[in-house]
Amino acid sequence: MRRVGLRRVALLNRRGFVALLAAGLWTGVTRVGATPAVVRYQDRQYIRLSDWASWRGLRLSRSPGSREIVASGPNLRIAFLIDGTRVEYNGTGLWFSYPVLAVDGQVIAWAQDVRGVLDTLVQPPRLAPGKRIRTICLDAGHGGKEPGQKSGNRLEKQYTLALAQELRGRLVDAGFSVVMTRRSDAYVDLAERPAIAIRNSADLFVSLHYNASPDGGSDASGVEVYAMTPEGAKSTNVSADVGSLRAWAGNENDRENVLFAYHMQRSLLQRLPGTMDRGVRRARFLVLRLAEMPAILIEGGFMSNAGDARWIYSETGRGRMAQAIVDGIQAYKRQVERGSGSGAIQGNTSSTSSTSRSAPGSSKN
Ligand SMILES: [Zn+2]
C-alpha cells in the first residue's frame, strides 16, 4: 500500500480533497458535527490525540524525551505510549488493536480504538429506559474430558467450577438470577455455552478461566479480562482469530463488552491487592463470538504462580475473587442502567446516545 504521511494529507486537503475523493485515492479528513477529524495513514484511519483531547475537554501533555503522552482532566488520566498498544485508563490497563504513533509531529491513534474504547469509557452506553441487568450467565471454563490448564495435578476445570459456585451464591444474595452453563464436572460444547445464556435470556455472560504458565515456570502472573475483538480489528490474543476478522453476533455489543471488561478488570485489581494488571484484552474466543448479550472472559490469574494462587486454591481467596467479580458486575450495572442514581458515580456528563455528537467532559471511570 502507498504510504501517505500526515503532512502530505494536510497539503492535499488544502488543495481540495474533493477531487481526490472523486478519484477514489483518499478518504481522509471527514467531520461529523464536532467529532475529531479522521486522517489516513498507511491505509488506516487515525485520529489525532490532540483533536480528540480538545473535543473531550482534556489536556494533552508529553514530557520532553518521553514516549508517554497523557490526556488528563477532572477525575480522568489516560496514559498512552508512542509505538505502544497498552493504555492506562485511570490506572487500569487496556490494549489497543494498533500502536499509538507519532507521525510528522502529531500523535495519532487508530480511529476504531479511539471510538470503540476511549469514547465508550468516557461516554458510556446506556440501556433502554426501564431495562435492567437481572440475569447473569456464569460459564465455568472447560469440564469433563476437557481439563483446561494444568499446574502440577491441579486442573483448571475444578477451580473454574468452584469459583462459579461461590459466585453464584453471592450473586443470588445480591438479587440477581443466575444461569450456569455447567454445575458439575461435565463436558459442555463451546457453542452450547452462549446458547444456554441466550435461551435463558441472560443479560450478561461471564466466562471463568485461569491461566497457567505453558513452560511450567512460575513467573507469569496477573489477571486479564477479554472482550470480543471488534470487526476488522486485531486481537490481543490472535490465536483465537481463526483467520477471520469478520463481524460476529458478539460484535452487536462491542461498546458494552469493552465497558463491562473494563469495570471487571478494575474491580479485580482493587479487590485483589498486589495482583499484576494484564489489562483488558481482545480475542475472538468462540463463546464471545456467539454471545448475544454483553460478554467477557476472565482469566483470573495463573495457577502456576504462588501470588495468584492465593485467590485460586483456597476457599477464602476464592471468596475474594468472587466478590471482586460481583463488584465488577454491579459497577457495570450501575453505569448502564438509567435512573439508578449511577450517573453521579461515574461522572455527571454521561449522556444518551442521541447526544453523542456533542462534546462531553470527562467522567471518573
Ligand atoms: Zn481456560
pLDDT tens sequence across 101-122: 999 989 999 999 999 999 999 9
Q: How far is the CA of 299 from the centre of ligand 1 (A)?
A: 7
Q: How far is the CA of 239 from the centre of ligand 1 (A)?
A: 14
70 lies in a domain?
Answer: yes
Q: How far is the CA of 298 from the centre of ligand 1 (A)?
A: 9
Q: Where does the pLDDT of residue 243 fall: very low under 50, low under 70, confident under 90, or very high at 90 and above? A: low
- Comparing 87-96, 227-236, 348-357, the range with the smallest average pLDDT is 348-357
Q: How far is the CA of 148 from the centre of ligand 1 (A)?
A: 5
Q: How far is the CA of 182 from the centre of ligand 1 (A)?
A: 14
Say what the pLDDT of residue 15 is: 38
76 lies in a domain?
Answer: yes
The residue from 63, 87, 122 where one domain ends is 122
Q: What is the CATH number of the domain that holds 226?
A: 3.40.630.40
Q: How far is the CA of 170 from the centre of ligand 1 (A)?
A: 22
Mark whether 53 and 171 lie in a shared domain.
no
365 lies in a domain?
Answer: no
**Residue 265 grid cell:** 478488570
At residue 359's C-alpha, the angle toward residues 353 and 363, to 5°, is: 80
Q: Where does the pLDDT of residue 200 fall: very low under 50, low under 70, confident under 90, or very high at 90 and above? A: very high
Q: How far is the CA of 39 from the centre of ligand 1 (A)?
A: 39
Mark whether 179 and 66 lie in a shared domain.
no
342 lies in a domain?
Answer: no
Whether pLDDT at 361 is above 60 = no
Whether pLDDT at 1 is above 60 = no
Say what the pLDDT of residue 12 is: 40
State the Cα–Cα distance between residues 280 and 277, nearest whole angstrom: 9
Q: How far is the CA of 208 from the centre of ligand 1 (A)?
A: 7
Q: How far is the CA of 245 from the centre of ligand 1 (A)?
A: 22
Q: pLDDT averaged over the chain?
A: 85
Say what the pLDDT of residue 340 is: 54
Q: How far is the CA of 247 from the centre of ligand 1 (A)?
A: 24
The number of distinct structural domains making up the chain is 2
Unique residue bearing C-alpha cell 471518573? 364
Mark whether 198 and 52 lie in a shared domain.
no
**Residue 183 grid cell:** 454445575
Phi, psi torsion values for 275, nearest 5 degrees: -80, 140
Helix or strand (DSSP H, E) at 168: helix 156-173
Domain range for 184: 135-336
Q: Is the dihedral of CA 277, 281, 285, 287 positive or negative?
A: positive
Mark whether 90 and 232 lie in a shared domain.
no
Q: How far is the CA of 146 from the centre of ligand 1 (A)?
A: 10
**What's the average model confidence in pLDDT over 221-237?**
92
The residue from 89, 122, 155 where one domain ends is 122
State the Cα–Cα distance between residues 73 and 61, nearest whole angstrom: 11
Whether pLDDT at 303 is above 70 = yes
145 lies in a domain?
Answer: yes
Whether pLDDT at 310 is above 50 = yes
349 lies in a domain?
Answer: no
pLDDT tens sequence across 43-96: 999 999 999 999 999 999 998 889 999 999 999 999 999 999 999 999 999 999
Instruction: Between 42 and 15, name the one with better pLDDT.
Output: 42
Contact predicate 290/195, CB 8 Å: yes
State which amino acid sits at residue 313.
Y
**Residue 49 grid cell:** 490525540
State the Cα–Cα distance between residues 75 and 122, nearest whole angstrom: 11
Q: How far is the CA of 332 from the centre of ligand 1 (A)?
A: 24
State the Cα–Cα distance between residues 350 and 40, nearest whole angstrom: 30
